[in-house]
Amino acid sequence: MSVAKYRFEGSDMNRKLLMGHPSGLFVLFFTEMWERFSYYGMRAILVLFLTRSILDGGWAWSREDALGLYGTYTMLVYFSPIIGGFLADKFLGYRRAVAIGAFIMTLGHASMALDTPWSLYLGIGFLVAGNGLFKPNITSIISGVYKNAQDKKDGAFTIFYMGVNAGAFIGILLCGYIGETVGWHYGFGLAGIFMFFGMLQFWYAQGIFGSIGLSPSKKIEYGDAIEDIGDTQEVVEEEKVAPKVQRDRYIVVGILAFFTIFFWAAFEQAGGSMTIFAADYTDRVLEGNSANIFRVANTLLVVVPLIIITYVLFKLFQITFKKYGLSNIFLGTSFVIIWGIVIWMLKNQYSEVSTEVPASWFSILNSFYIIAFAPLVSKIWESKYNPPASVKFGIGLVLLGLGFGVLAYGSSAISQGAQTASVSMIWLILAYLLHTLGELSLSPVGLSYVSKLVPATKIGLMFGLWYIAIGLGNKAAGSMGGMIDKITAAYDMSTFFLIFTIVPITAGLIIMSLTSILKKLMHGVR
């Protein structure tokens, strides 16, 4: 795509393209990658840590209590952005909010590295507060970069989503492995280290965004020109949307947010009931040829995506190192550490006679599939085959339901009320594939449509409201997942997963039937 066709905002360096997008997008890519490393790395082992026995280093909580805390935590993580978005819009600016949020989250992970109840709850509090400042405002910076390149937004958010899942992939892999083999709190501490690196690399490269994301009263000088960032005169001139039109667009955001709740209520079983299913109901011990096949496959699964991400890092360095060398040094150092831990982990796995696949390992499949399929989906969304938002949402919900259908079928042999079993790993592998394709169809697209349908002056606040919908879904996920023992005792495991099959598919078919109505309410937004 030629540079002339689109006007990307930010500094001159930001207009130097990487993979057809501004180089600043990839600064945000790596910042978000390390934040997601910390979040998903901690999430991968939280329920396992709480439910494991005292002898295994855990706290021996019941599944219901552990999933209840998990649901409350993930709900608050998505509720807090409404406050963070407001503070950034009115006082801090997006860039300062991202940096402060990253620092607070670093403190949260450091607290969780201590083995005491008070430090666990304090750490969770810090993570919730820091996330509120970080999450809505990093996506708001993207919106600023692409405010005059709307047709590129879907592709940009999909690439950004690759950063999300690259971090999740590495975080789950390494925090999960270290947590399950070395010690749970070492896993929590590792998450904090890379959150700290993410903060530093963003802070020292933020100049690439020019005036985007500065505080409302801030002025920045470029040569002889001084650009006023205080009032929103330029943004208002861009919008000029009639009140009735904007009201209709808000209605569309509300409808999409409502169906988002159903998606995340099922999808977030990944950190709860699906993790329990992996730990207690899945055959994870491999020997002989099976162990060797897994080692080779796991090596490729880990090394190939890491090589790809390292290549993107190298290409970014070629553009930005001369001006933002310190940021690049922090980012490069973090990758050296990551490669060292990965090599150490793989060496340990090859030295074992048999291999027990960590229960947290299955969660990396979601991130791997996204890294593998996101470029293809991004191209589809930018092609003539790009479907309307409602169809994308419907496809996402149906694929999610089908993934749980696979688990319902795979667990059909588990007897009523069983606390353990040894079903094949293939069912989780297939379920995560379908769930991931569903996520790619819905989640990044939702972020993109919020940025298109909402005035730029309200973008931080509306991203916060969007995350409230996701938070409600997360709390529902914890509450529903916590019923796993009751449902399997009264019925069986297959029935438990059938609930998560029927509800998303039904919701998906309903929202696809609303396509013509939503198209009218969007008033030309595509």
Task: Name the token pair of 304.
Answer: 């190939």
Q: How many Cβ atoms are within 10 Å of 490's Cβ, its own excluded?
A: 12
Buried b (16+ CB within 10 A) or exposed e, 150-176: eebbbbbbbbbbbbbbbbbbbbbbbbb
Distance from C-alpha of 146 to C-alpha of 14, rounded to nearest angstrom: 11
Confidence at residue 220, expressed as pLDDT on a 0 to 100 scale? 42
Question: Which residues form the domain of 94?
Answer: 21-211+232-522
With respect to residue 367, please indicate whether it lies within any of the assigned structural domains.
Answer: yes
Domain of 436, CATH number, reads 1.20.1250.20
**What angle separates helix 117-145 from helix 459-481, to the nearest 10 degrees?**
140
Task: Name the token pair of 185.
Answer: 């709190």
Please list the residues that pair with 355 across neighbouring strands: 286
Contact status, residue 37 vs residue 344, Cβ threshold 8 Å: no
With respect to residue 1, please indicate whether it lies within any of the assigned structural domains.
Answer: no
Distance from C-alpha of 438 to C-alpha of 436, rounded to nearest angstrom: 5
CA 75 to chain centre: 14
DSSP 1-45: --TTT----S-TGGGSEETTEEHHHHHHHHHHHHHHHHHHHHHHH
Name the one residue in this structure whose structure tokens are 């690049």: 328
Q: How many Cβ atoms are within 10 Å of 384's Cβ, its own excluded?
A: 5
Distance from C-alpha of 400 to C-alpha of 388, rounded to nearest angstrom: 19
With respect to residue 5, please indicate whether it lies within any of the assigned structural domains.
Answer: no
Distance from C-alpha of 437 to C-alpha of 453, rounded to nearest angstrom: 24
Contact status, residue 406 vs residue 431, Cβ threshold 8 Å: yes
Distance from C-alpha of 452 to C-alpha of 213, rounded to nearest angstrom: 18
Distance from C-alpha of 147 to C-alpha of 250, rounded to nearest angstrom: 18
With respect to residue 221, please indicate whether it lies within any of the assigned structural domains.
Answer: no
Strands 21-22 and 219-222, by their bridges, are unpaired
Confidence at residue 231, expressed as pLDDT on a 0 to 100 scale? 35
Amino acid present at 219: K
With respect to residue 31, please indicate whether it lies within any of the assigned structural domains.
Answer: yes
195: exposed, middle or buried (Cβ count in 10 Å: 0-12, 13-18, 19+): buried
What stretches of 382-421 show up as alpha helix (H) in DSSP?
389-410
**If residue 223 lies in a helix (H) or strand (E), which one and from where to where?**
none
Query: Per residue of the chain (526 residues), what is the pLDDT tens digit?
Result: 444 466 788 888 888 888 889 999 999 999 999 999 999 999 999 999 999 988 888 999 999 999 999 999 999 998 988 888 889 988 899 999 999 999 999 999 999 998 888 999 999 999 999 999 998 899 889 988 988 887 788 788 878 878 887 898 899 999 999 999 999 999 999 999 999 999 999 999 999 999 898 877 664 443 333 333 333 333 464 557 888 999 999 999 999 999 999 999 999 999 899 999 999 999 999 988 989 999 999 999 889 889 989 999 999 999 999 999 999 999 999 999 999 999 999 999 888 878 889 999 999 898 888 778 877 887 887 778 888 889 999 999 999 999 999 999 999 999 998 888 899 999 999 999 999 999 999 987 887 888 889 887 787 678 778 888 999 999 999 999 999 999 999 999 999 999 999 999 999 999 999 999 999 999 888 7
CA-CA-CA-CA torsion sign (311, 315, 321, 324):
negative
**If residue 434 lies in a helix (H) or strand (E), which one and from where to where?**
helix 426-453
351: exposed, middle or buried (Cβ count in 10 Å: 0-12, 13-18, 19+): exposed
With respect to residue 223, please indicate whether it lies within any of the assigned structural domains.
Answer: no
Distance from C-alpha of 244 to C-alpha of 161, rounded to nearest angstrom: 32
Residue 444: which of 377, 353, 518, 361 has the closest Cα? Answer: 377
Residue 413: which of 251, 264, 283, 231 has the closest Cα? Answer: 283
Domain count, the chain: 1
Task: Name the token pair of 124.
Answer: 């969770």
CA dihedral 87, 92, 97, 100 (to 10 degrees): -110
Confidence at residue 460, expressed as pLDDT on a 0 to 100 scale? 67
With respect to residue 200, please indicate whether it lies within any of the assigned structural domains.
Answer: yes
Confidence at residue 233, expressed as pLDDT on a 0 to 100 scale? 34
**Proportion of the chain in helix, strand, coil states, percent, rounded to 5:** 75, 5, 20
Residues 6+ apart with CB under 8 A from 412: 492, 494
Task: Name the token pair of 34.
Answer: 């390390």
DSSP state of 415: P
Distance from C-alpha of 187 to C-alpha of 179, rounded to nearest angstrom: 4
Contact status, residue 482 vs residue 64, Cβ threshold 8 Å: yes
Distance from C-alpha of 522 to C-alpha of 96, rounded to nearest angstrom: 32
With respect to residue 41, please indicate whether it lies within any of the assigned structural domains.
Answer: yes
Residue 351 in 3-state DSSP? coil
